[in-house]
Amino acid sequence: MKNDYLQVMIEAIRQNGYKMQTMVAIEEMSELTKELVKFMRGEHNTDAIAEEIVDVEIMLRQMKIIYGIKDEDVEKLMVIKLERLKERLEGRKNG
């Protein structure tokens, strides 16, 4: 991602504060939830789902900045969790 955008997110946190940005993150996650529920009810709203995924991603990046979570640590945990999932799926397939 462009370094400018990192600066934009840092500035958003600086101007609005961590509590407001955390609240916005919670709101955006609920907006994504709402769109997923609509899809499950039969709406063809994949554009809206994509938009909400982007909103959530942007807020997750801010959450990482606010709560001091490093990208490399997220990557490491993701590998651990995906390996665990892979093992579970393989276990199901073989036994």
Contact set with Mg ion (CB under 5 A): 28, 31, 55
User: Of 1, 2, 11, 26, whose CA–CA distance to 65 is shortest?
Assistant: 11
- CA–CA distance, 38 with 21 (Å, rounded to integer): 26
Task: Please identify, using beta-carbon distances, which residue of 47 and 72 lies nearer to Mg ion.
Answer: 47
In angstroms, what is the minimal distance from the CB of 35 to Mg ion? 9
Q: Which residue is nearest to Mg ion (CB)?
A: 55
Query: Which is nearer to Mg ion, 57 or 73 (by Cβ)?
Result: 57
C-beta of 54 vs 80, nearer to Mg ion: 54
Contacts 24+ apart (CB under 8 A), 31-34: 31/55, 32/56
The nearest distance, CB 89 to Mg ion, in angstroms, is 32
